[in-house]
A and B are shown apart, each in its own frame.
Chain A
Amino acid sequence: MEDKQVRDESLAVEENLDNQEMDNQELDDQKLDDQLDSLIEEAVLETESQKPRQKMRLESFKRGAYHEQGWLFVLPAVLLMCVFTFYPIINTFVSAFKVGYKPLDSAYELKWGFENFVRVLRGDTGTGGANFARCFWNTLAFTFISVPVSTLLALLISVALNSIKVLQKAYQTIFFLPYLTNALAMGAVFATLFNVVGTGNTVETVGLINVLLGRTADNYINWINLGSDIWANRFVVIIYEIWSGLPFKILILFSALQNVNKQYYDAAKVDGASKSTILWKITVPLISPMLSYLLITGIMGGMKVYTAVVGLFGESMGQEYEVGTMVGYLYNYIEKGETGYAAAGSLILFGIIMIITLINLYVSKKRVHY
């Protein structure tokens, strides 16, 4: 359902890009369907009187006979998918249960079991580096704070944007700027904003954010540097995630708002509803499918946050993966050649994403108004 609406949405977003053509085509499609229907009708009319003579496949009626050369067209994609999509899925499941599996080392003893999962979950992989529990809680903290906040913020921004006429386009463009960025580069920029720089033990600058907060070398907040608090770190990541997550959400919500039938607002006004009543009782329920879509995709994306943290905290995600994320955890083990742990970890990530998707589906079925 969400999917379809997003696509409907996009028609409004793309403005005049290809609307005209598409309109025509849809019209044509419609006519074609009608034509086809009448053809089928006429066929159906006959069913009663005519004995079946020959069995044919339905598809061949609509599109002509089967063209097995279709396989020729999809062959490159299918071959590549077999090697790089389908095989990895199977292999991940298999190697997650192979204990001590190191395919790039020549010798290992094959043993099956759940040991990989157990060790990953207990943080007992004996290889140092990232810790699963820490990475897990970091990821949850990033996601479950930044996604709701940025969605709510995007909603307020979209409503505000929708209520003005002057400069609307200009604001819209500025808001979309952070969409097309390189996470490593922009992560570095945010790091610079929060960075405390000095030589030896002398602090030279406490960074723009500290200065704006009225902090000096004596009482600065250690956001990201050595010895900083994990929640200070998380705060910086969350700010970055909100900043980079807003554009897409504004884009979707703003066009959703523009598609709301103005009659609802008029009707609500006649019924004497106040502005805030209209917003929370009319507008939000009407665009609730979009909100739920954004929450789902936002959370699913949030579960995979990685590059931004590397941009902010460097390749080791802090000194030793203090700010690590679940994906960072996986890559850590891939790099170390610990495929079993990486596979088990990725299955756990997959499981978490599936659970979140199912919860979301369940909730949105209950809460989303249509």
Chain B
Amino acid sequence: MRISIENLTKIFPSRHKAGENVTAVNDMCIEIPSGKLVGLLGPSGCGKSTTLFMLSGLEKPTSGHIIFEDEDVTTLAPEKRGIGLVFQNYALYPHMTVEQNIMFPLVNMRLPKEEARQRALEAAELVQIEELLTRKPSELSGGQQQRVAIARALVKMPNVLLLDEPLSNLDARLRLQTREEIKRIQRATGITTVFVTHDQEEAMSICDQMVVMKLGVVQQMGEPQEIYDNPNNLFVANFLGTPPINIFKGKVENGGIYIGDEKVGETNVGDQEVFIGIRPEGFIYDPMGALTVNVQNVEVMGRDKTVVSTHPSSTKPTIRSIIDSDIKLPKDALQLKFNIKPNKLFLFNAETEERIYDGR
């Protein structure tokens, strides 16, 4: 099921000031391809959950349209949209057994009891909880509850599966496992899946497509690697990647990119003040390198090491540079020099913070 979101806007009245309104989602236009796993990513308060609830039909958009394949579902009730929704806190009915929970949507569809039971069993098998069917939600671990919630969403064979922060209530170990699980289930069923997360690592690891949002506005959409490699603006560049991108104030002069007085690269954009973003993995140690940093310490991680340093032009307190652990650094050096990989360096307009693309 292909989903088109056209000029979707949601305005809430402000809780703090009477008469004031706040825009949770602003003129959103995206197209979600059929059968893909798509992540809505952004910091807390970016409107991603609101978008998801509008897709589910629980929230009514202020304006704009939601189109499933060719049908406009903007005003359609949730139960008529053919969606499955997994809530952040799972919202399992505490008085029903796992089986009754999973069967609940089917019972409401007035399916014969036997068929409902059969389908509930299939859904339970898909998420591997068939041995828990007689238990109550309170007797399950967080991960198991999550699976029940997914099974309940899947049992009516939805065209679209929506997940709201599906991993946020799980502990770290379970989170890794469950995110593989979600990926597996999505692959197995081929259902168009939209999920909301504020964790960029989570999104990048399982998404086919990613939508980065900020303050209700879509910043960029695309494959995770594509966005990581080609961020549209400073926000997106900053939001993706651990450790985060290093940002310097700098300038372009006569085709040279300058941080302070040091020329770290070349470009063909015109002379101007810029923000220069350099990914941590974009540094190459070179005693004769272009950029000089003041070393604070070196963290050895085994597989690689991180040089933590400072630079007067950096907009952040420290700069992190990841280099291969084989590379020998001079002991107790106060300063180190690096060359910068051109494909790991991005220029942003100093005022709009939009990406300045190389003309080449």
User: Chain A interface (Cβ within 8 Å of chain B)?
Assistant: 20-21, 24-25, 27-28, 31-32, 35, 38-47, 49-50, 52-58, 60-61
What distance in Å separates the Cβ of A236 from its nearest Cβ neighbour in chain B? 49
By the criterion CB–CB under 8 Å, are B45 and A56 in contact?
no
User: Which chain B positions have C-beta within 8 A of A32?
Assistant: 89
Q: Are A45 and B11 in contact (CB under 8 A)?
A: no
B20, A47: Cβ atoms closer than 8 Å: yes
* Structural contact, B22 and A54, CB atoms closer than 8 A: no
Contact for A45 among B45, B50, B89, B169, CB less than 8 A: B45
- In the assembled complex, the Cα of A128 lies from the Cα of B19 at a distance in Å of 65
Q: List 13 A-B contacts (CB under 8 A).
A: A28-B91, A39-B24, A39-B50, A40-B12, A42-B50, A44-B16, A47-B14, A47-B21, A53-B11, A53-B23, A53-B62, A56-B12, A56-B13
Who on chain B is nearest to A21 by CB? B94
- In the complex the two chains form, what is the Cα distance from A55 to B24 in whole Å? 15
Closest to B216 in A: A46
Q: Is the pair A42, B47 in contact by a Cβ cutoff of 8 Å?
A: yes
Q: How far is the CA of A28 from the CA of B11 in the complex (A)?
A: 26
A-B contacts besides A40-B12, A44-B15, A47-B21, 8 pairs, CB < 8 Å? A28-B89, A35-B49, A39-B49, A42-B45, A46-B216, A49-B215, A52-B21, A61-B13
Q: B23–A40 contact, CB under 8 A?
A: no
Of A27, A43, A55, the contact of B22 (CB 8 Å cutoff): A43
B11 touches A20 (CB 8 A): no
Q: A60: which B residues are within 8 A, CB to CB?
A: 13
Whether A46 pairs with B62 at a CB distance below 8 angstroms is: no
Count, chain B residues at interface, CB 8 A: 32
Q: Which listed residue (A25, A27, A43, A49) contacts B14, Cβ 8 A? A: A43
Closest 4 CB pairs of A and B: A42-B45, A43-B22, A46-B22, A56-B13
Given contacts A41-B44, A42-B44, A56-B12, whether A47 and B17 have CB atoms under 8 Å apart is yes
| Most B Cβ at <10 Å: residue of A25, A27, A46 | A46
Q: Determine how close the nearest CB of chain A comes to the CB of B86; give it in whole angstroms.
A: 14
Q: How far is the CA of A56 from the CA of B12 in the complex (A)?
A: 7
Contact with A along B75-115 (1 / 0, CB 8 A): 00000000000001101001100000000000000000000
* Nearest-neighbor residue (CB-CB) of B169 within chain A: A31
CB–CB A55/B45 < 8 A: no
Q: Does B313 contact A (CB under 8 A)?
A: no
A-B contact count (CB 8 A): 93
Check: B137 CB closer than 8 A to any chain A CB.
Answer: yes
Q: Which residues of A contact B46 (CB under 8 A)?
A: 42
Complex CA gap A24/B11 in Å reads 32
The interface residues of chain B, by DSSP majority, are classed as: loop
**Do B15 and A35 touch (CB < 8 A)?**
no
B138 touches A (CB below 8 Å): yes
Q: Is the CB–CB distance between A31 and B89 below 8 Å?
A: yes
A41 to B45, Cβ gap below 8 A?
yes
* Chain A facing B: main interface SS: helix
B89 near A54: Cβ-Cβ < 8 Å: no
Is A24's CB under 8 angstroms from B94's CB?
Answer: yes
Enumerate chain B residues within 8 angstroms of A35, measured Cβ to Cβ.
49, 88
Contacts of B138 in A (CB 8 A): 20-21, 24
**B44 A54 Cβ-Cβ under 8 A:** no
A39 to B11, CA, bound (A): 12
Chain B 54-65 per-residue mask, 1 if CB under 8 angstroms from chain A, else 0: 000000001000
Establish whether residues A40 and B15, one from each chain, have CB atoms under 8 Å apart when the complex forms.
yes
State the Cβ distance, A123 to closest chain B Cβ, in Å.
Answer: 57
Q: Which residues of chain B come closer than 8 Å to A58, judged between CB atoms?
A: 13, 15, 18
What mask results when residues 1 to 41 of chain B are scored 1 for a CB within 8 Å of chain A, else 0? 00000000001111111111111101000000000000000
Bound form: Cα–Cα A309–B50 in Å: 63
What is the bound-complex CA distance between A25 and B92, given in angstroms?
10
Q: Which residue of B lies closest to A56 (CB)?
A: B13
Docked-complex contact B22 and A50, CB < 8 angstroms = yes
Cα distance, A55 to B22, chains bound together (Å):
10
Q: Which residues of A contact B16 (CB under 8 A)?
A: 44, 47
What residues on B are CB-neighbors of A42 within 8 Å? Answer: 22, 24, 44-47, 50, 215-216
With A24-B137, A35-B88, A38-B45 in contact, do A44 and B13 touch (Cβ < 8 Å)? no
Q: Are B89 and A61 in contact (CB under 8 A)?
A: no
Tell me if B13 and A57 are in contact (CB < 8 A).
yes
Residues of A within 8 A of B26 (CB): 50
A19: shortest Cβ distance to chain B, in Å?
A: 10
With both chains docked as a complex, state the minimum distance between the C-beta of A25 and any C-beta of chain B, in angstroms: 7
Decide if B137 touches A47 in the complex (CB within 8 Å).
no
CA distance A60 to B15 in the complex (A): 11
Among A20, A24, A27, A61, max chain B CB count under 10 A is at A61
Query: Which B residues are CB-close (under 8 A) to A45?
Result: 22, 45, 215
> Measured between alpha carbons, how far is A55 from B23 in the docked complex, in Å?
12
Identify which of B11, B169, B216 contacts A54 (C-beta below 8 A): B11
CB distance from A48 to the nearest CB of B (A): 9
Of chain A, the residue at the smallest CB distance from B22 is: A43
- A31–B164 alpha-carbon span in the complex (Å): 13
Contact residues in A for B91 (Cβ distance below 8 Å): 28
Establish whether residues B21 and A55, one from each chain, have CB atoms under 8 Å apart when the complex forms. yes
Give complex CA distance A61, B216 in Å.
17
CA separation between A52 and B20, bound complex, in Å?
Answer: 5
A249 to chain B, nearest CB (A): 34
Q: Which of A31, A32, A43 has the most chain B CB within a 10 Å cutoff? A: A43
A44 CA to B15 CA, complexed, in Å: 8
Asked if A44 and B89 sit within 8 Å, CB to CB, the answer is no
CB neighbours of A46 from chain B (8 A): 22-24, 215-216
B335, chain A: closest CB distance, angstroms:
41
The residues of B that contact A54 with a CB separation of less than 8 Å are 11, 21, 62
A43 in contact with B12 given A21-B138, A38-B44 (CB within 8 Å): yes
